[in-house]
Amino acid sequence: MTGAELRKSIEKALDEIRPFLQNDGGDIELIDIKDNKHVKVQLMGTCVGCSVNQMTLKSGVEMTIKKHAPQIETVINIEA
C-alpha cells in the first residue's frame, strides 16, 4: 500500500468514527503517519477534556483504523 493509499484508508476509518465523536461535541483530525506504522491524530472539541478519551482512542479510533489499515501498530493523540 502506497503512502497515499494508506492515508486514504486512515481517513476512511476516521470518517467512520467521526459521527460518534461529533455526536458528543468532539472531532478528530489525522496529523501524521510515520513509517507507515504509526498514526498521530488530534482529538478536538469536547474530546480534549473528556475523561474517557484514551479509551475512545484505543477501543474506537485505533480499532477502526486497524480494520482499514492492518499494518498500523500505534495510534497516538497529539495534545493541542
Task: State the pLDDT at residue 75.
Answer: 95
| Domains: count for the chain | 1
Positive or negative: CA dihedral 60, 22, 34, 55: negative
The pLDDT score that the predictor gives to residue 80 is 66
Q: CA–CA separation, 80 vs 66, rounded Å?
A: 24
36 is in which domain, residue-wise? 3-77
Q: How far apart are CA 75 and CA 24, in angstroms?
A: 21
pLDDT score of 52: 86
Rounded mean pLDDT of 6-13? Answer: 97
Confidence (pTM): 0.90
Task: Please report, for the domain that includes residue 42, its CATH number.
Answer: 3.30.300.130
Residues 6+ apart with CB under 8 A from 61: 13, 14, 17, 28, 41, 75
For 15-65, write each residue's pLDDT tens digit. 999 999 999 899 999 999 999 999 999 999 998 888 888 888 888 999 999
